[in-house]
């Protein structure tokens, strides 16, 4: 008996938690897991094995994943990407068809204008061209470091010679189409990934220990068989959950939850010599209590 007491005092429980908004630090030593496990076993064995009827609780609703909510943003992005891609391609083809009928003609430099950008001088040219004996002018947007070109080629609308080909319009539709295509591939990949993920892993566990932490307690649970009996050691899984509602998780309390409810990355922590899976992202409403 003295030997057991000496062992207990040398092995205080110090749960290790992830360094996030819910990180907690023990404020006081808690007895090791072995003495508690020995005390818990009779409580587990005494739990009735018959099916428990939960009044007013929709178990399926608590455990299932709300697929519509989880995938909705990506579905909306997918639809938007299709619209972006389709619209970009459509207007690009419309623009191409429109400019295919434009006529190429040479335009002569009429006058030069000197402009400054960040103190650096540049030169811009205004050009003239003649269609059916009528003169038109065009101010070229390109900035030259030296004298502008004496002659440039332009494309004009034969029905309205003052309307010229705008390369920026075509480039804009190309960029829109490319962006839509890229977004389509990304959202399509994400939707395929989410669809292929496991949608549920229902865990039936029992609380076997807890540790006092800043702001609450760390609850430690281990899986049990559907009839409430202990699982084989090699089949047992361990979970840890931080909460300030620790009165809901007394030792011996059986709980059920869906491990894949949020499809988040699984984080683990070491509890003495046990590796536990952290489910700190869960809320109290995600558990079914027995």
Q: Where are the domains of the chain?
A: 23-49+58-65+199-289, 103-164
Cβ-based neighbours of 209, under 8 Å, separated by 6 or more: 13, 30, 33, 36, 37, 40, 220, 251
Per-residue pLDDT for 156 more than 70?
yes
pLDDT of residue 130: 94
pLDDT of residue 197: 52
pLDDT in tens, 80-119: 988 988 888 988 888 777 788 889 999 999 999 998 988 8
pLDDT of residue 141: 83
pLDDT of residue 77: 86
Q: Could you give the angle at which helices 67-100 and 167-196 cross, rounded to 10 degrees?
A: 160
pLDDT of residue 201: 82
Confidence label for 20 from pLDDT (cuts 50, 70 and 90): very low
Four-point Cα dihedral 162, 167, 172, 175, nearest 10: 160
pLDDT of residue 249: 95
Per-residue pLDDT for 10 more than 60?
no
Which H or E element spans position 267?
A: strand 267-271
Which H or E element spans position 256?
A: strand 254-258
More reliable by pLDDT, 196 or 221: 221
pLDDT in tens, 21-55: 444 444 444 444 444 444 333 333 333 333 333 33
pLDDT of residue 260: 79
pLDDT of residue 271: 84
Four-point Cα dihedral 213, 35, 268, 289, nearest 10: -80
More reliable by pLDDT, 187 or 128: 128
Q: What is the rounded average pLDDT of the residues 188-209? A: 77
Min mean pLDDT across 137-146, 176-185, 262-271 is at 262-271
Min mean pLDDT across 42-51, 142-151, 232-241 is at 42-51
For the chain, what is the mean pLDDT? 76
More reliable by pLDDT, 217 or 97: 217
pLDDT of residue 96: 79
pTM listed for this prediction? 0.39
Per-residue pLDDT for 5 more than 70?
no
Q: Is the CB of residue 160 less than 8 Å from the CB of residue 65?
A: no
Helix (H, G, I), strand (E, B) or coil at 135: strand
């Amino acid at each position: 008996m003295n030997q057991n007491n000496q062992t207990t005092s040398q092995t205080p429980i110090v749960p290790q938690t992830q360094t996030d908004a819910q990180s907690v630090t023990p404020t006081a030593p808690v007895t090791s897991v072995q003495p508690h496990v020995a005390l818990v076993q009779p409580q587990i064995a005494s739990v009735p094995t018959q099916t428990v009827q939960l009044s007013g609780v929709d178990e399926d609703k608590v455990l299932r994943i709300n697929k519509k909510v989880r995938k909705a943003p990506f579905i909306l992005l997918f639809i938007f990407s299709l619209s972006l891609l389709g619209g970009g391609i459509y207007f690009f083809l419309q623009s191409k068809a429109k400019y295919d009928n434009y006529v190429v003609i040479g335009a002569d430099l009429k006058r030069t204008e000197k402009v400054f950008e960040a103190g650096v001088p540049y030169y811009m040219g205004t050009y003239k061209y003649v269609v059916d004996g009528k003169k038109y002018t065009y101010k070229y947007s390109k900035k030259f470091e030296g004298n502008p070109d004496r002659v440039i080629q332009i494309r004009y609308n034969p029905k309205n010679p003052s309307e010229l080909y705008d390369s920026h319009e075509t480039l804009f539709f190309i960029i829109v189409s490319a962006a839509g295509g890229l977004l389509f591939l990304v959202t399509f990949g994400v939707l395929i990934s989410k669809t292929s993920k496991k949608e549920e892993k229902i865990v039936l566990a029992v609380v076997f220990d807890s540790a006092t932490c800043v702001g609450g307690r760390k609850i430690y649970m281990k899986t049990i068989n559907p009839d409430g009996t202990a699982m084989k050691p090699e089949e047992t899984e361990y979970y840890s959950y931080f909460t300030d509602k620790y009165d809901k998780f007394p030792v011996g309390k059986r709980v059920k939850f869906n491990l894949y409810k949020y499809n988040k990355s699984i984080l683990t922590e070491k509890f003495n010599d046990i590796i536990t899976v952290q489910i700190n992202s869960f809320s109290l409403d995600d558990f079914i209590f027995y």
